[in-house]
Every structure is written in C-alpha cells, then in structure tokens.
C-alpha cells in the first residue's frame, strides 16, 4: 500500500515540475479550499447560504438548515443533540465537510448540528445527493459544507455583535479581518449561553435541565508566498457544555461536555495548467457524559484523525479538466467503552470533467479505498449538465456511495462487530433548472437503494450488536424556488424548498422512522433603505417514531419574523426577532418538546 502511494506521489511530483514551465495564470482574489464543490458538482443541486443569509438566521447549524434546506432535524429539545435526515437517510449518512475535510465523528459517524456555530463561517452550502467519491464516508443523502473564504484585498474590519433573548439566552460574537494583497488574518469568537428553561406548552412543566453554553473559535490565516504559491491555515474549535434535557415525564440530571478541534494547513501551488494542493489536517474530538452532573463519574470517548491529502488539478485544455486526489488518514479512538484502536485508510480519487459542446458537459469520478479494517467498495460517479436554452438546464447524475462502520460499531466493548461491511448506496437523479426573469426553479427527482445498512439489534444472548441488515429503497422529489427583485431602493429575496421523501425498509415496506414524507421551507426578506425585514416558515410533515409505523409525531408549521435597522452614521445595526410567533407546541423527537414563542434583540457594531 505504501509503495503504491509513493509511486503515485512520485508521479505527481513529476507532473508538477513539468507543468511549472507553463505561463502563470491569473489568480483569483477570492479562494476557497473545497474547490471540488465548485468544479465537480455540475449535476447536483446545491443551496448556497451566504453571509447575508447567515446573519438573518439563528446561529446553530440546526436552525439555519431547518429553515433553509430540505433536511429534517431530530433535536432532543432546543440546543440538545441534533442529527439530520437528508433525503430519507440516517444521521450517519449526511457528511459535514469543513473546508473540504469530512468532520463527521469517528466514534458515532455523525455530526451533532448543535455543535456548529454558523458565525464561524463565510458561507454554508448544502449539496444534495451522493458525494462519497469526493468527500468519502457518509456522503449518501448529501453533504453540508462549512466554508471560509479568503480575500486578498486591503481590509481591516471589526464586528461585535451581542444578542439577548428569552430563556436568558445571551450571544456574543467578535470577528476581525486584517488583510492586504499578501496576507490575510481572520479570527472569530462566538459565545452563547442559555438557561433554556422554556415551558413545555400544555404540560405545565419547564425544560428543567436544558441549560447550555458554548464557545467556538475559528481562525484563518493566508500568506501569499509568491504569485504562484499560497500558504493557508484554518482552525475551528468548539467547546460545549450542555445539561441534557429530560423528557416530559422524566427529569434529567445529566451533563455533556465536548471539545472538538480542527486544524488544517494547506499549501497551494499554481503553475501553468496545474494546481496542486498539499493538505494536512488534524482533527480531535472528545466528549464526557455525566449521568449525574453533581457526580464525578463520567463516561467518555476520544478520537484523533490525521489526514494528509495531495490534490492535483490539471487543466488539460479549457474544455477538459482532470483532478486526482491521494488521501491518507489515520484515525485512533479510545473511550470508557472502547478499547484503544487505530485504523489507517488510503484512498485514490480521479475526477474528470469535459465540456463536449458549449452547452453540454459531463464529469466522471472514481474512488478506491484501501484499508485493513473492512472491504471497501469501488466508488464511482457520473454527472452531466445539458443547457439547451439560456433558461433551461437538464442534469443527470448517478453514483455509488458508502458509509464506513464507526469506532462504536467496530469496537464497543462486548458489542462491537469486526465483521461489518460499509453501508453502500446506488443512486440516480434527474434535475431540471428553469430560469425566468429573476426566478430560478430547480426540481430534482431521485432514486436510491441502500444496502447493508447498519443497525444495532440484540443477538441471541440479548446483547445489542451492530449488523449489516437492512435494505432501504428511497425515492423523492426536491424543489428549490428562488426569486430576487430590486426595485429602486427596495430589494426582495424569496426562497422556498420542498421535499417529498419515501424511504422504505425493503423487507417491511414501512417508512423509516423520523423521515417525513413532506417538508417545506419558505423565507422572504425585504430591504428598504436602512430597514430590513424577514419572515421564515417551515412545515414538517408527520414522522413515524416506531418501525411498524404505528406511533408517530404530528406535523407542524412554525414561523419566525425579524426586523433590523442599520444606523449608517455609527455603522451599527439593531435587530429584533420573534421565533415561533404563533406559540405552537411541537416535537421533532418524541417526548421532547420544543420552545414556544420567544424573542431576541441584537446589536451589531462595525468599526
């Protein structure tokens, strides 16, 4: 395996030195590190949530995506553990990609969307459908991309934002950017603390053990070594302290601490038709769970990942691009119920994109992983984009994707199963984009079959063990509609998403639990001079909570409003938000009510 890597690396090094004779290309002022999201995603629908959308939303990734994407979230009460169901898949089948690096937990395979504070990122994108060829394990339902852009321009800006609202919720955010043509330094600190003692509407009870606080810190540093070589550093730290809420009838006294750190160093070299990137990432995750917050007893889990990537992009001609990625990662995990274990995975990815005609292009991706832990399938993807008219695009894509067993699945004491295979899915989708005036309508139909789904079931001696058991068949429709309009001094932005999802266990023909058939989101933002106002709403259809589809949670519709005024003289904004304006009781996980109506005021200083 190592010989293969060194041979490949040698090959790439040769390619670079050959390519360096070519003339310099113009460099973009704005760079992102996850270039595949732009270059190799022609056939899949992507929602980009820019800075201006992020500031209008609540700061947890859960709330942002709940109101702006088709993803369904299972949240154990406001601020508690939150996991996604994207296109009818499980929590482990959505990959979260931080600046091009997959950050799903090595321990449980998923990301807790309440441990990501959106203020740390310049933009957040949601890419529907499979992406394992590029992003690896877990990119089955789709991927969520957390991006930090770097702009090499003269800038010095500071922003302090404070908000205070119901349930003694205080948020503070400070952001600084200092940059010129050669150097950029950016830092962001966010802190949020909340008593979170909201009322359980209709039960005469409060969320008694739901208080939380967290601090997150992100930095980016970029240095232009020469006109062709850039050095970049990214880091993202999240330090959370939550008491876990109980249920309606059950008090809780538990506490959960987690500390996640992610660091990434990247060297980019542009030479002629080649762009090479060497990336080195170090990810750490650690949690402590206290059954009783007053006690010193806790259970814990830790994992460390080292990821080394070599990414070479070769623009053979203006119409033909080739991208190869060699990736080596070493993960180690350890915990109160997991013996210390380590695994090493090497992967090789080849991506090709060709513009056949001015209105037709296609892309192909291939990936193979080598590891001693499990038999890894050969992954592939194909996508095409046909634009016969200015107002119409036709997209088609198909791919094979996978999700590898986690450390918990493999090594949990007494339960771990070393004979697991990765879950794998074969999927296809067909999308159309219509554009008219300022309206863009995207509709995608998709079909997906997932095999070898991992599920924990009791074995014959009553011990719960993960096995490759279920087959799931998923199909559905996703619709995105956007409208933008500027009339003199006013500006209107409207965005809606709708998803219809059928996700059935093939054997029982029953819908998977916690997958709604229908989900709709809508947002409307209006700006006039210094005033802006926005409205957002979400409809979530009924979800089943038991696999026999007997028990369920009712559908709900929740709406928020916000208004803000910008004082030009002082470069200050004052905002006000009302959430769940109709004070509706709802649950997205059984027995765990969400808050009723709440308010928040926000003050932002720019200097």
Partner 1 sequence: MYCKKVFLFASAISLFFISCSNDDSSTTEAPIGAYENGVLILNQGNFGTDNSSVSFLSNNFSVFENNSFGIVNPTEVLGDTGQDIGFYNDLAFIVLNNSQKIEVVNRKTLAHVTSIETGLSNPRYIAFSQGKGYITNWGDGGNPNDDYVAVINLQNYTVLRTIPVNEGPERIIVNNNKLYVAHQGGYNFGNTVTVIDANSNTVSESINVGDVPNSLKIQNDILYVLCGGKPSWSGTETAGILVKHDLTSNTSTSLDFATSSHPSNLYLSEGMVYYTDNSDVYSMSATAAALPSTPLFSTFDQGVYGVYSFAVENGRIFVGDAVDYSSNGKVYIYSTNGILEYEFTVGVIPAGFYFN
* Contact positions vs partner 1 (CB under 8 A): 74, 76, 81, 83, 91, 108, 110, 203, 244, 247-251, 256, 289, 291-292, 295, 297-299, 336-337, 408, 412-415, 456-458, 460-464, 513-514, 545-548, 550-554, 589-591
Closer CB to partner 1, 111 or 169, in the complex: 111
Taking the complex as a whole, how short is the minimal distance between the CB of residue 326 and partner 1, in angstroms? 32
Taking the complex as a whole, how short is the minimal distance between the CB of residue 66 and partner 1, in angstroms? 16
Size of the chain, expressed as the number of residues it contains: 607
Taking the complex as a whole, how short is the minimal distance between the CB of residue 551 and partner 1, in angstroms? 5
Taking the complex as a whole, how short is the minimal distance between the CB of residue 293 and partner 1, in angstroms? 10
Closer CB to partner 1, 90 or 580, in the complex: 90
Q: Which residues contact 505 (CB under 8 A, 6 or more apart)?
A: 470, 471, 472, 512, 547
Taking the complex as a whole, how short is the minimal distance between the CB of residue 504 and partner 1, in angstroms? 15
Taking the complex as a whole, how short is the minimal distance between the CB of residue 595 and partner 1, in angstroms? 18
Taking the complex as a whole, how short is the minimal distance between the CB of residue 590 and partner 1, in angstroms? 3
Closer CB to partner 1, 259 or 578, in the complex: 259
Taking the complex as a whole, how short is the minimal distance between the CB of residue 85 and partner 1, in angstroms? 9
- Give the separation between CA 126 and CA 478, rounded to whole angstroms: 13
DSSP state of 100: T
DSSP-derived secondary structure for 406-465 = -HHHHHBTTT--TT---EEEEEEEEEEEEEETTEEEEEEEEEEEEEEEEEEEE-TTS-EE
CB 472 within 8 A of CB 505: yes
- Give the separation between CA 237 and CA 120, rounded to whole angstroms: 10
Closer CB to partner 1, 505 or 580, in the complex: 505
> Hey, which bits of 225-374 come out as E strands?
229-244, 254-271, 274-290, 299-317, 320-335, 338-357, 360-371
Closer CB to partner 1, 388 or 458, in the complex: 458
Bridge partners (DSSP) of residue 560 are: 536
Taking the complex as a whole, how short is the minimal distance between the CB of residue 457 and partner 1, in angstroms? 7
- Give the separation between CA 280 and CA 274, rounded to whole angstroms: 20
User: Among 358, 360, 401, which residue's Cα sits nearest to residue 384?
Assistant: 360
* Full strand arrangement of the beta sheet holding 46-49: 46-49, 123-128, 142-147, 94-98, 101-102
- Give the separation between CA 60 and CA 119, rounded to whole angstroms: 9
Handedness of CA 535, 541, 544, 550 (dihedral sign): positive
Question: What phi, psi does 317 have (nearest 5°)?
Answer: -150, 180
Closer CB to partner 1, 296 or 375, in the complex: 296
Taking the complex as a whole, how short is the minimal distance between the CB of residue 462 and partner 1, in angstroms? 5
- Give the separation between CA 49 and CA 493, rounded to whole angstroms: 13
Closer CB to partner 1, 230 or 514, in the complex: 514
Closer CB to partner 1, 406 or 573, in the complex: 406
β-pair type (229-244, 254-271): antiparallel
Closer CB to partner 1, 352 or 467, in the complex: 467
Taking the complex as a whole, how short is the minimal distance between the CB of residue 509 and partner 1, in angstroms? 14
DSSP-derived secondary structure for 53-92 = HHHHS-SBHHHHHHHHSS-EEEESSTTS-EEEE-TT--GG
User: Among 40, 14, 22, 34, which residue's Cα sits nearest to residue 228?
Assistant: 22
Taking the complex as a whole, how short is the minimal distance between the CB of residue 252 and partner 1, in angstroms? 9
Q: What's the first-to-final CA gap in the chain, in angstroms?
A: 54
CB 30 within 8 A of CB 151: yes
Query: C-alpha angle 294/115/580, rounded to 5°?
Result: 95
Closer CB to partner 1, 251 or 388, in the complex: 251
Cα–Cα distances in angstroms (integers) from residue 595 to residues 77, 207, 246, 587, in the given order: 8, 9, 14, 9
Closer CB to partner 1, 21 or 509, in the complex: 509
Closer CB to partner 1, 181 or 339, in the complex: 339
């Amino acid at each position: 395996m190592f010989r293969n890597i060194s041979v490949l690396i040698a090959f790439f090094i040769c390619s670079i030195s050959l390519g360096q004779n070519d003339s310099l290309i113009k460099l973009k002022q704005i760079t992102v590190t996850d270039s595949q999201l732009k270059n190799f995603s022609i056939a899949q629908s992507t929602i980009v949530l820019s800075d201006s959308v992020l500031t209008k939303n609540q700061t947890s990734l859960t709330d942002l995506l709940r109101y702006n994407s088709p993803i369904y979230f299972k949240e154990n009460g406001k601020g508690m553990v939150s996991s996604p169901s994207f296109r009818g898949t499980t929590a482990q089948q959505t990959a979260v990609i931080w600046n091009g690096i997959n950050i799903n937990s090595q321990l449980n395979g998923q990301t807790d969307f309440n441990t990501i504070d959106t203020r740390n990122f310049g933009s957040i994108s949601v890419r529907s459908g499979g992406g394992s060829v590029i992003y690896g394990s877990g990119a089955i339902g789709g991927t969520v991309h957390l991006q930090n852009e770097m702009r090499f321009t003269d800038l010095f800006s500071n922003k302090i934002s404070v908000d205070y609202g119901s349930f003694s919720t205080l948020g503070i955010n400070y952001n600084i950017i200092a940059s010129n043509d050669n150097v950029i330094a950016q830092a962001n600190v966010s802190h949020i603390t909340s008593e979170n003692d909201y009322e359980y509407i209709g039960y005469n009870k409060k969320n008694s053990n739901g208080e939380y606080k967290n601090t997150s810190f992100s930095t980016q540093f970029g240095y232009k070594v020469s006109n062709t070589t850039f050095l970049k550093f990214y880091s993202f730290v999240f330090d959370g302290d939550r008491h876990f809420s109980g249920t309606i009838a059950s008090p809780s006294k538990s506490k959960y601490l987690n500390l996640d750190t992610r660091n990434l160093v990247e060297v980019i070299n542009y030479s002629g038709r080649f762009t090479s990137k060497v990336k080195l990432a170090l990810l750490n995750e650690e949690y402590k769970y206290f059954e009783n917050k007053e006690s010193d007893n806790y259970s814990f889990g830790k994992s460390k990942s080292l990821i080394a990537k070599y990414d070479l992009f070769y623009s053979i001609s203006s119409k033909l691009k080739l991208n190869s990625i060699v990736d080596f990662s070493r993960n180690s995990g350890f915990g109160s119920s997991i013996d210390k274990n380590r695994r090493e995975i090497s992967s090789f990815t080849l991506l090709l994109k060709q513009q056949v005609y001015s209105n037709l292009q296609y892309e192909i991706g291939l990936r193979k992983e080598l590891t001693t832990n499990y038999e890894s399938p050969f992954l592939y993807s194909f996508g095409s984009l046909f634009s016969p008219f200015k107002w119409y695009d036709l997209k088609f894509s198909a791919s094979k994707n996978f999700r590898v067993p986690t450390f918990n699945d493999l090594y949990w004491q007494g339960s771990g199963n070393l004979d697991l295979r990765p879950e794998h899915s074969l999927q296809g989708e067909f999308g159309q984009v219509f554009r008219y005036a300022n309206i863009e309508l995207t509709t995608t139909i998709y079909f997906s079959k997932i095999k070898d789904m991992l599920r924990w079931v009791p074995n014959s001696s009553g011990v719960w063990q993960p096995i490759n058991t279920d087959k799931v068949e998923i199909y559905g429709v996703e619709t995105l509609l956007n409208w933008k309009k500027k009339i003199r001094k006013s500006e209107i932005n409207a965005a809606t998403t709708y998803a219809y999802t059928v996700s059935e266990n093939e054997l029982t023909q029953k819908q998977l639990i916690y997958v709604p058939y229908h989900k709709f989101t809508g947002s409307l933002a209006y700006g006039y001079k210094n005033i802006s106002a926005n409205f957002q709403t979400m409809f979530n259809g009924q979800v089943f909570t038991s696999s026999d589809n007997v028990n369920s949670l009712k559908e709900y519709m929740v709406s928020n409003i916000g208004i803000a005024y910008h004082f030009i003289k002082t470069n200050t904004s004052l905002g006000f938000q009302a959430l769940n304006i109709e004070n509706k009781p709802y649950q997205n996980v059984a027995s765990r009510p969400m808050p009723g109506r709440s308010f928040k005021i926000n003050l932002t200083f720019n200097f």
